[in-house]
Amino acid sequence: MSKTAEVEGALETRGIEQVPDHERTGRTRELFPTWVGANISVLLLTMGASLVVAYHLNLWQALVVAVAAPVVSYGLVGLIGISGKRGGAPGMALSRAVFGQRGNLLPGSLIWVARWGWETINAVTGAYAMLSILDIVFGLTADSVLDLVTLLAFVVATFAISGLGIGAVQKCNKYATYLFGLFSVLVLVYLIVDTDWSKVFAHSAGSTAAVITGIGMIAAGGVSWIPTAPDFTRYLPRTASSRAIVGTSVGGAGIVVLPMVLMGAVMAVSTPDLASASDPVSFLGEILPTWIAVPYLLIALIGMLLINSMSMYSAGFTAQTLGFKVPRHWAVSVNAVISLAFGGVLMLVATSFMGSFIAFLSLLAVAFSAWVGVFGADMLRRTEYDGAALADTTRTSAYWYKGGFSPAAVASWAIGLAAGLLFTTSDWFTGPLAHNNVVGEYGLGWVATIVISGLLYLALPKPAVVPAAPAPAGARSAERSKTLSA
């Protein structure tokens, strides 16, 4: 963590520039609460219910999904996060070394726009949590005015936390982790005592295709964090363990995803309407007693605030890489305004929240996966990043390549993205190859995107890797030994 962020509550002023080695004093264990906080969402309960109601899985199959999804998605988060300790810069800034200074604008723009949707979904969910609390505690009935007031309050709070920077985000994640763990145990105990387990275990099994598709649905949320993983590892020293980065990422996410998805699956057996509820939160007030529901909704609200704060924190960096010449905390305000506008439309106009959410997840995973394939393949040959070249957006940059573009990276990204969409199915869009083949029927369009873009990038001729300015000998030696041991 930088010195500007070490002081509790201080405003982080560092933007997309490379963090100097003497300020990189973070610890890998700090990633654990970061990825716990990134998953404190009641949407996981609703998605767990969808596994039973929409995908027709039984409890054991839901368990497989709940274990596999965070391992796959946050395993990739951890692997891409290794580039943060190597380069000391946010993910979309490091991406300039791969795509070129101008070429990076293409995936950067798509990821930035896709993040608008993610932040809108989170903001609306947070607003629904506030509405449910007001209804249970004060008997206030939701209407269009109250909807917009709660949405505005949520977005303003998100902007305040994300604007302060990584110090505020990490500190909030730490305390939210403790609170979430406590009340999740209470909910779990209540479900164990109150649930008709004979009915749960009598539920018939679904198909293998449905299990794999379910893994993709749950994993999509994690996939959306992959390009931002270096944002939270750039304050780690070069000697930080790569194995620890991956392990804490998977562990932090898994400790939340596993119980939440399973609890949603158990709830759905007795309350099948949960998967198609008009909003993703109010059902908690109906299923749980008030003494559990109210504090749990409060924790859910805090969780959604943290998720959106982390997303907007990274979105500020993305906006800066796209050419917005403003400080990071002001770049965050752009996404805040957009999520407020789109959130208002979703709350007042959309007829099915979960339908819109699942459709969005399907397309979100593909949009992010094309970048993941190319950037991940590039990490196999690049272990250092030139900070001066990353910051230099002119023709003199070592990452200018051909007219500002790396042809291999841009072509691989575009072809992988197009191919993935061909195999994708959602309520909004269905590709021509989405049926009558294993990839489409098993919901593996996002996996195909990663594989195609990555392999194509490895096969195409690429610009030579420009060596970064050498790190101190001791740091390089320690990094080599740490990487080998990891």
pLDDT at residue 475 tops 50: no
**C-alpha span between 112 and 191 (Å, rounded):** 39
User: What are 76-108's pLDDT values in tens digits?
Assistant: 999 999 999 999 999 999 999 999 999 999 999
pLDDT at 459: 96
pLDDT at residue 275, as a whole number: 60
pLDDT bracket for residue 126 (50, 70, 90): confident
CA distance 226 to 229: 5
Percent of the chain past pLDDT 90, that is, above it, reads: 37
For residue 471, is pLDDT > 70? no
Nearest to 164 by CA among 356, 341, 330: 330
User: Model's pTM, two decimal places?
Assistant: 0.84
Given this model, what pLDDT does residue 390 score? 93
- Per-residue pLDDT tens for 230-241? 999 999 999 999
- Check pLDDT > 60 for residue 2: no
Contact between 404 and 106 under an 8 Å Cβ cutoff? The reply is no
> Contact 269/49 with Cβ under 8 angstroms?
no
The pLDDT of residue 32: 92
Torsion of CA 301, 305, 307, 309, to 10 degrees: 180
Per-residue pLDDT at 115 exceeds 60: yes
The answer to whether 218 and 261 are in contact (CB under 8 A) is yes
**Mean predicted confidence (pLDDT) in 177-181:** 73
Q: Which residue has the higher pLDDT, 168 or 84?
A: 84
Average the pLDDT over 295-315 and give the result: 79
What is the separation of C-alpha 357 from the centre of its chain, rounded to a whole number of angstroms?
14
pLDDT above 90 for 257: yes
Amino acid residing at 207: S
pLDDT at residue 337 greater than cutoff 60: yes
CB-based contacts of 275, cutoff 8 Å, min separation 6: 46, 49, 50, 52, 53, 54, 268, 354
Mean pLDDT of the region 293-309? 80
Tokens 């609306």 sit on residue: 124
pLDDT at position 396: 92
* Stronger pLDDT, 466 or 55, i.e. the higher one: 55
Q: What is the pLDDT of residue 467?
A: 66
Q: Which helix (H) or strand (E) holds 373?
A: helix 353-379
Torsion of CA 361, 365, 367, 372, to 10 degrees: 160
Winning range, highest mean pLDDT, from 181-195, 390-404, 421-435 = 390-404
Q: How many CB atoms lie within 10 A of CB 299?
A: 21
Q: What is the predicted pLDDT for the residue at 474? A: 46
Please say if the pLDDT value at position 35 is more than 70: yes
Say which amino acid occupies 342. F
- For 110-133, what is the mean pLDDT? 84
pLDDT at 253: 94
Confidence check: pLDDT of 354 > 70: no
Among candidate residues 295, 74, 358, 36, the one with its CA nearest the CA of residue 177? 36
Averaged pLDDT for residues 150-168:
76
Instruction: Give the residue from 34, 123, 108, 121 showing the smallest Cα distance to 368.
Output: 108
**pLDDT, tens digit, 9 for 90 and up, residues 420-467:** 999 888 777 788 888 888 888 888 889 999 999 999 999 999 887 766
220: three-class secondary structure by DSSP = helix
Closest CA to 121 of 36, 65, 42: 42
What pLDDT is recorded for position 31? 92
Rounded Cα gap, residues 305 and 312, in angstroms: 10
DSSP character string of 69-113: HHHHHHHHHHHHHHHHHHH-S-HHHHTHHHH-TTTTHHHHHHHHH
Tokens of 199: 């009915």
pLDDT of residue 301: 82
* Residue whose token pair is 């979309």: 92
Bigger pLDDT: 152 or 37? 152
- Do the beta carbons of residue 399 and residue 97 sit within 8 Å? yes
Q: How far apart are CA 347 and CA 58, in angstroms?
A: 32
Instruction: Kindly indicate the confidence band of residue 311, based on its pLDDT and cuts at 50, 70 and 90.
Output: confident
pLDDT value of residue 157? 83
pLDDT, position 1: 42
- The pLDDT-based confidence of 482 (bands split at 50, 70, 90) is very low
Instruction: Write out the two tokens for 304.
Output: 């959604």
Mean pLDDT value across the chain: 83
Enter the tokens of residue 356.
């819109």
Instruction: Write down the H helix ranges in 195-230.
Output: 197-201, 208-223
Q: How many CB atoms lie within 10 A of CB 351?
A: 7
Instruction: Tell me the two tokens of residue 445.
Output: 């369009």
Distances (CA, A) of 352 to 52, 278, 279, 280, 349: 19, 6, 8, 10, 9
Write down the pLDDT at residue 476.
43
Distance between CA 1 and CA 166 in Å, rounded? 8
Is the pLDDT reported for residue 147 higher than 90? no
The answer to whether the beta carbons of residues 419 and 448 sit under 8 Å apart is: yes
Give the per-residue pLDDT at 58. Answer: 93
Q: How confident is the model at residue 298 (pLDDT cuts 50, 70, 90)?
A: confident
For the segment 29-42, the average pLDDT, to the nearest whole number, is 87
b/e string for 414-435 if b means 16 or more Cβ within 10 A? bbbbebbbbbbbbeeebbebbe
Q: Collapsing DSSP states into helix, strand and coil, what is residue 412?
A: helix
Band (pLDDT 50/70/90 cuts) for residue 6 is: very low
